[in-house]
Amino acid sequence: MKKIQTIKPKVSKVDPSNPDTIPKFVDDLPIPPVARPLKTIRGKSYYEITMKECKHRFHKLMPATTVWGYDGLYPGPTIHVNQNEKIYVKWKNQLPLKHFLPIDRTLHESAGPPEVRTVTHLHGANVDWESDGHPEAWFSRNFAQTGETFRRKIYEYTNRQNGATLWYHDHAIGITRLNVYAGLVGLYIIRDPIEKTLNLPKNRYDIPLIIQDKSFNQDGSLFYPENTDPPAPINPSVQPFFNGNTMVVNGKLWPRLKVEPRKYRFRILNAANTNAFTLRIGDGRPFYQIATDGGLLTKPVELTTLPIEPAERSEIIIDFSKLKGKKLIMQNTNDEGNTGVIMRFDVTLPLKQKDTSEIPASLLPDNQPLEEKCADKIRLLTLDARQDEFNRPILMLDNQMWHDPVTEKPVIGDTEVWRFINLMNFPHPMHIHLIQFKVLHRRPFDLERFQQDGYIHYTGPPIEPEPYERGWKDTVRADVGMVTSVIMKFTENPGDYVWHCHILEHEDYDMMRPMKVIERE
């Protein structure tokens, strides 16, 4: 047998702080384990998931790295549920009392105790507000201290929504970027009966890909910058953005996945702090998108590239059946060099059995069309910036800080259109808790005139959403120079939620606002 050449540099030559020295495609892609309920309560599954500090090996030639993980795992265990199946989760904090990443003490309550606080948000969930993971519903180790909106230790998820790939992550006020970067992420998969009839690739052919960028110090510890460049007069200081110099998938640096020559379903999550990626497979071969954030599309969309913003999910089917023996790199075409490479698919496994799975012509009937003309309320919401006393940018929504009084108060039963007016020179992934929306359109406008008179002067017709965002969404890219409109119907669950930019460095300072969903009077 011909020996396949493997890359085996000496351990001493790998410098975790220099990505050029870290060989790619030497670790197999790990699959996060399935979360198991501790017991059942009145017939419902009850989970306890404990946040712990632990050691994690990002690469077989790197020393183990201190991370924070749900159940001591990075990424955390995947929770699997069925549509309408109610479950309970007690999220527990047994983390150290001191953070291992640099805390900016000028943000929110970061100045005072407790330094380490956590609260878990299930991103994309239709959930009662007390279980939503409100940023001020934080709790410290063993619930010793709790934030202002903390109401319960055990969260209840009803899963009244379409089958979808959701994810859970930390959302504590002022330190979300650090807690998520430390490792507090995991997947939550809802399955529904429609999906089960579709004969999509399943079980070992249904694979999650949680993509993040990270940087490391020489000793293998996680690197996160202490200050801005040029430095702010206070230290540590929040960053306006974070770019890692390596790519991590399911916890491994540039992993490889050995696949059979057949179809696979991939559930892709961009769990990066700041970075958007544009995915491309091999030489740009076509693949098929089947789902967005909130579940299945009406029909598959053929793509050769797929942009994905922080917090967005996209599910695709790749057909490797004609690629036996080939190795295909998943790239990020937004970057060159190390962060332009994500992972590799090696079509080297023998076909276990005939692939009978399908890429169906249609997926989910569109039985909830939302039309702009039926909106009960249209909100114009700006994305803007000013400077703080240290000459750092404060990014804001509607010119307001997090602690300013709530202005978005949707009424149950109403359909609302939100228009995100981006006044900055950078796109922002806007996320609204509780609901799934549809992207209506993006429309170019005259930024200069808006800044003079505060009115939107459109400079062109509305542009249809991209082919890859024509399904249920909870996060949307608010483009530069555009008014991005989304439409949604509030159906249940009054209470205190939030909406925010999902660039974590932005939501911490201060691109997050409260949203109070109210009952009709």
Where does this chain bind Cu ion (CB under 5 A)? Answer: 428, 501, 503, 506
Tokens standing for residue 440: 């209506």
Min dist CB 511 to Cu ion, Å, is 5
Sign of the four-CA dihedral 232, 234, 235, 236 = negative
Q: Which is nearer to Cu ion, 363 or 503 (CB)?
A: 503
Min dist CB 121 to Cu ion, Å, is 17
Tokens standing for residue 53: 């500090």
Residue least distant from Cu ion (Cβ): 501
Q: Which is nearer to Cu ion, 267 or 506 (CB)?
A: 506
Q: Which is nearer to Cu ion, 162 or 275 (CB)?
A: 275
Sign of the four-CA dihedral 249, 250, 256, 260 = negative
Q: Which is nearer to Cu ion, 501 or 515 (CB)?
A: 501
Q: How far is CA 204 from CA 1, 34, 170, 348, 411, in A?
A: 28, 13, 28, 16, 43
Min dist CB 178 to Cu ion, Å, is 17
Contact by Cβ (8 Å): 76, 107 = no
Contact by Cβ (8 Å): 170, 123 = no
Q: Half-sphere exposure (CA, 13 Å, Cβ side) for 274?
A: 15
Q: How far is CA 291 from CA 258, 345, 445, in A?
A: 24, 21, 30
Min dist CB 428 to Cu ion, Å, is 3
Helix (H, G, I), strand (E, B) or coil at 509: coil
Q: Which is nearer to Cu ion, 17 or 334 (CB)?
A: 334
Q: Which is nearer to Cu ion, 428 or 477 (CB)?
A: 428
Which secondary structure element, helix H or strand E, spans residue 176, and what is its range?
Answer: helix 176-181
Min dist CB 64 to Cu ion, Å, is 33
Q: Which is nearer to Cu ion, 209 or 504 (CB)?
A: 504
Min dist CB 202 to Cu ion, Å, is 36
Min dist CB 379 to Cu ion, Å, is 18
Contact by Cβ (8 Å): 149, 195 = no
- Residue 346, Cβ density class (10 Å: 0-12 exposed, 13-18 middle, ≥19 buried): middle
Tokens standing for residue 490: 């509030």
